[in-house]
Amino acid sequence: MKLNHIFSVFFSFLVLFQLQLVQAEQITPFESEADSALLLNQLVSVKSTSGKKDLISLIAGSNLPQRTRVLTAMQDGDLYYTKADEQLVYAKTHPDGYEIRAVVSGEDLGVVGSRKVRKISINNELRTVLRGVLAELALRSEDAAERLAAAKDLIRSPAPEFLAAIERAKAIESNDKVLESLNIAMAMINLKSDQQVLRLEAIEAFRGTLDSDAMSILAAMQLKDSDGNYLEKDELVRESSAAVLSEMRGKAKIYKLLENAFFGLSLGSVLLLTAVGLAITFGVMGVINMAHGEMMMLGAYTTYVIQLIMPNYIDYSIIVAIPAAFIVSGLVGIVIERGIIRHLYGRPLETLLATFGVSLILQQAVRSIFSPLNKSVSAPSWLSGSWEINGALSLTYNRLYIIIFSLIVLLLLVFLLKKTFVGLQMRAVTQNRAMANSMGIRTGWVDALTFGLGSGIAGIAGVALSQLTNVGPNLGQSYIIDSFMVVVFGGVGNLFGTFFAAMSLGVANKFLEPFAGAVLAKIFVLVFIILFIQWRPRGLFALKGRSVED
């Protein structure tokens, strides 16, 4: 008998001895690096199913940093060993064979032929063991998010072999969300039991939760076959599931209304950002700016360019993009006002046509520079994902931050108009241009600054829109009509009216869409505003002032 075979037999006895110690005393085996290597390499020499089961338990109970990766590779069929020196390796398929990497050292061993390595074989029994062991390892993670994800995976694939791992995880779990998911996972498993008591307890465990998988399985119990017979034969279980399902659906409807309200507020926040600049411009200058949407487009493209300049700092690029978009759009707005609009005051039709022409020029310029294709703007990591309150309500972070951001912009604008000298001049020009001019206010420069401010805020709106949709030359056209509706409905030049109109129209749109569809919902809102303007031509909150009232 060769020396290495003698050593393998001896080490197998050592493995079994260590396993008994682990089970009896709960010690952590193989703490040295050499012992860890010996333990992993036994996966090569141990051939029996029972021996591999013992090794899997030892590896899972050890402090090996690569234990999860090794067991996952074993489950996925990516764990091999080299025939020449029986070294344990990870293997990925390659046109010339396999690309291998040493498990213990992590060394890249290059590409070898398919005959140079052999797979660590497993059967269905070992796959079942591995699933349970990997689930328990994930449930023992120090990261609560990883434990929650593991618990949710168990809900989606419930199996009896996970029960013991779930019980042990519940005994030490302190996070309420993870604990709730573990209880749901256990209930999903017990629901497949042959014992009526366990099934009824599982159904009761669903009470108070809003997990979509749980609702689906309870709904399936109410289905009938082609002959009209219930698929769930146990009447008591079926009635209990129907009662719990009815309660869950009632709560889900309430949370669905809250979710619609949230999406409505997020849409209203976008409308607020797009309309507030237009409200200032329209209120002070009386100009119908058809190029306002293109100011938003410029802000969105500024965000795209900033990300191209800062590819390694995506998380911070949007913070840089906000002032950059304000400056770019604001300067373009001032150029448009000084170059075109100031020559057309008092001629609203010519102003409308001129700004419409400017919008076409800006769109074509963007197409020539960036191409007509839409551009994708990456979202920072802190804007990705969602805040999951329960199974029926989750709030996406990007929309939540846009709501907060729009309110901050509105408050800063109110402060500018109410507490600064420039704001005082703007309000004076808005209420009575002739009197303001006679008092020495340079109304021409106030007009330029106002148009630049409104355009800059539109650029900031473009930054927000880039986080919700792709950036393209026609981006602004999708929001210009809605912006005018908000301004007219709220009252020209009134910031509080603009805020109220944006939020109310956003929420109304989201509540109408499930019943009428997106297009009809917009039509209904438009018809409502037309009828409302017939009743109150100045909008909800009209400004006071002699020239305004005229």
Listing DSSP states for 238-291 in one string gives: HHHHHHHHHHHHHHHHHHHHHHHHHHHHHHHHHHHHHHHHHHHHHHHH----TT
Confidence band for 440, pLDDT divided at 50, 70 and 90: confident
Kindly state whether residues 442 and 517 are assigned to the same domain: yes
The average pLDDT across 524-547 equals 71
Whether 301 and 418 map to the same domain: the answer is: yes
Domains identified in the chain, total number = 3
Q: Are residues 264 and 382 in the same domain?
A: yes
Q: How many CB atoms within 10 Å of residue 171? A: 7
- Residue 249 falls inside a structural domain: no
**What was the pLDDT predicted at 542?**
61
The arithmetic mean of pLDDT across residues 71-86, rounded, is 87
Residue 325 has pLDDT above 70, yes or no: yes
Q: Which three-class secondary structure string do you get for 392-413? A: CEEEEHHHHHHHHHHHHHHHHH
Q: Residues 511-539: what's their mean pLDDT?
A: 77
Residue 109 lies in a domain: yes
Tens-digit pLDDT profile for residues 457-484: 989 988 988 888 888 888 888 788 888 8
Task: Report yes or no on 254 lying in a domain.
Answer: no
- Are residue 373 and residue 475 in the same domain, yes or no? yes
pLDDT of residue 16: 44
User: Phi and psi of 120, rounded to 5°?
Assistant: -75, 105
8-22, 71-85, 188-202, 388-402, range with the lowest pLDDT: 8-22
**Is 151 in the same domain as 270?**
no
pTM above 0.75, yes or no: no
Q: How many secondary structure helices (H) and strands (E) does the chain include? A: 22, 7
Q: Has residue 444 been placed in a domain?
A: yes
Please give the average per-residue pLDDT across 307-335, as a whole number: 89
User: Is residue 406 domain-shared with residue 492, that is, in the same domain?
Assistant: yes
At 434 the pLDDT is: 75
Is residue 387 domain-resident?
A: yes
Residue 344 lies in a domain: yes
Same domain, 199 and 82: no
Residue 61 has pLDDT above 60, yes or no: yes
Q: What is the pLDDT of residue 301?
A: 92
Question: Is 143 inside any structural domain?
Answer: yes
Q: Which of 88, 122, 156 is the last residue of a domain?
A: 122
Same domain, 163 and 114: no
User: Looking at per-residue confidence, does 12 or 485 come out higher?
Assistant: 485
* Residue 542 structure tokens: 């009209």
User: What mean pLDDT is reported for the chain?
Assistant: 80
Question: For residue 398, what is the domain's CATH number?
Answer: 1.10.3470
- In this structure, the answer to whether residues 320 and 410 fall within a common structural domain is yes
Distances (CA, A) of 536 to 348, 488, 531, 540: 22, 10, 9, 7
Query: In the predicted model, is pLDDT for residue 137 greater than 70?
Result: yes
**Average pLDDT for 99-115:** 86
Question: Do 93 and 192 reside in the same domain of the chain?
Answer: no
pLDDT category of residue 327 using cuts at 50, 70 and 90: very high
- pLDDT (0 to 100) of residue 298: 92
Query: Is there a domain that residue 245 lies in?
Result: no
Is 222 in the same domain as 271?
Answer: no
Query: Which of 233, 268, 286 delimits the end of a domain?
Result: 233
Comparing 209 with 35, the larger pLDDT belongs to: 209
Q: How do residues 28-58 score in pLDDT, each as one tens digit? A: 344 455 566 677 778 888 888 888 888 888 8
Task: Give me the mean pLDDT over the 161-186 stretch.
Answer: 83
pLDDT at site 1: 45
Same domain? For 409 and 343 the reply is yes
Query: For residue 324, what pLDDT band results from cuts at 50, 70 and 90?
Result: very high
Distance of alpha carbon 89 from alpha carbon 109, whole angstroms = 9
237 within 8 A of 203, measured Cβ to Cβ: yes
Strands 386-390 and 117-119, bridge-based pairing: unpaired
Residue with the bigger pLDDT between 1 and 386: it is 386
DSSP per position, 287-354: ---TTHHHHHHHHHHHHHHHHHH-TT-HHHHHHHHHHHHHHHHHHHHHHHHHHTGGGSTT-HHHHHHH
Which range marks the domain in which residue 353 is found?
259-549
As a whole number, mean pLDDT of residues 71-82 equals 88
Choose the final residue of a domain: 122, 155, 187.
122
Report d(CA 456, CA 459) in Å as an integer. Answer: 5
Q: In what order do the strands lie in the sheet with 88-94?
A: 108-112, 97-102, 88-94, 79-82, 117-119
* 124 or 331, greater pLDDT: 331
Statement: residue 21 has pLDDT above 60: no
Does the pLDDT value for residue 423 go beyond 60? yes
Q: Would you place residue 328 in the very low, low, confident or very high pLDDT band (cuts 50, 70, 90)?
A: very high
Alpha-carbon span 466 to 307, nearest angstrom: 12
